[in-house]
Homo-oligomer: A and B are copies of this chain.
Amino acid sequence: MSFKLTILGCNSAVPTVERHPTAQLLTANERFFLIDCGEGTQVQLRKYQLSFQRINHIFISHLHGDHYFGLIGLINSMHLLGRNKDLHIYGHQELKAIIDLQLAASNTELNYPLFFHPIPEDNEQILFEDELISVRNVLLNHTLKCSGFIFEEKKSKRKISKEKIEKLNIPYEKFNSIKEGADWIDGKGRVVKNDEITIENTPSHSYAFCTDTLYNEALIEKIKGVDLLYHEATFKKELSHRAKETGHSTTFDAATIARKAAVKHLMIGHFSQRYRNLDELLFETKITFPNTYLAESGLVLDFNKLSS
């Protein structure tokens, strides 16, 4: 299925004219998932002509402002622009009170149902699931309770192999049960196993979003082999002491996690404002993990076109 990531902002701490705080849009077969929502996200969505009314699920990693100060504005604009369909927000419990207090202060009763889903602080679970995709939280290690998110497309059902079907002369009315996994038993009672008469469908996609976090080996097993890992790299390697002090990672940390987890691709982001030339961070990361992208606002990654 289609599976695309758009970076709306990827910088840390303080927004500037050119550099926006964290926000990303993952679109998976008409599902629009917003991940984090720093100040100005609604304008970034407009800038890249992404309709924010199509977003039904918003995931907030943690309650540092650069990850959520744009949320109340987005909720409010959705309301003012006539939304009436459900909106689901996944965040730590305190976020609900922050939203409620601001809506109450303006006597706003939203035109649409807003469902708040608290992210568990101490355990990992499926936060959202439908027939095509699941989203679960992973615990990160930051100065504040913080959650990563893993988006996983479900494995598609196997497809019928035309060649085998014709050879074995299997009748059409059996196709559905075979797609569901049934074996084939011919007139003489011979069993042909399902995986001999079906072939694998298009590969399923997976995306892990991990910011903000210290270097954390507990992540490795959980994100093993994902197609793309977004991992923060706030600092260059030389500032590893600052990373430790502030609950962040360096380029080297991000690359090491990517390598140990054998992910297919890495994207680094959440850059400190001190860096003017981000190519230096990319260069440093690629030494350890060559298959790395540099996040930048407006970048669109189509998972179906990622190099294998």
Taking CB atoms, residues of chain B closer than 8 Å to A188 are none
Taking CB atoms, residues of chain B closer than 8 Å to A47 are 17
Smallest Cβ-Cβ distance to A14: which chain B residue: B77
Specify which of A46, A76, A106 lies most central, judged by the most chain B CB atoms within 10 Å of its CB.
A106
A94 contacts B105, C-beta separation under 8 Å = yes
B39 contacts A144, C-beta separation under 8 Å = no
Stretch at the interface among A66-74, A161-169, A175-183, A193-201: A66-74
Stretch at the interface among A23-31, A96-104, A231-239: A96-104
Smallest Cβ-Cβ distance to A19: which chain B residue: B43
B97 contacts A39, C-beta separation under 8 Å = no
Contact of A69 among B73, B81, B144 (CB under 8 A): B73
Smallest Cβ-Cβ distance to A97: which chain B residue: B101
B69 contacts A65, C-beta separation under 8 Å = no
Produce 1/0 per residue, A14-40, CB < 8 A to B: 111100000000000000000000011
Taking CB atoms, residues of chain B closer than 8 Å to A104 are 94
Q: Closest CB of chain B to A56's CB: distance in Å?
A: 19
Taking CB atoms, residues of chain B closer than 8 Å to A39 are 39-40, 42-43, 70, 73
Q: Closest CB of chain B to A273's CB: distance in Å?
A: 9
Taking CB atoms, residues of chain B closer than 8 Å to A43 are 15-17, 39-40
Confirm or deny: A63 has a beta carbon within 8 angstroms of a beta carbon on chain B.
yes
Q: Closest CB of chain B to A11's CB: distance in Å?
A: 12
A95, B101: Cα distance in complex, Å: 9
Confirm or deny: A13 has a beta carbon within 8 angstroms of a beta carbon on chain B.
yes
B102 contacts A98, C-beta separation under 8 Å = yes
A46, B105: Cα distance in complex, Å: 29
B106 contacts A16, C-beta separation under 8 Å = no
- Contacts from A to B (Cβ < 8 Å): 13-17, 39-40, 42-43, 46-47, 63-65, 69-70, 72-73, 76-77, 80-81, 94-95, 97-98, 101-102, 104-107, 143-144
18 contacts between A and B (CB under 8 A): A13-B80, A14-B42, A15-B73, A15-B77, A16-B46, A17-B43, A17-B47, A39-B73, A63-B105, A65-B102, A69-B72, A69-B73, A94-B105, A98-B98, A98-B101, A98-B102, A101-B101, A107-B143
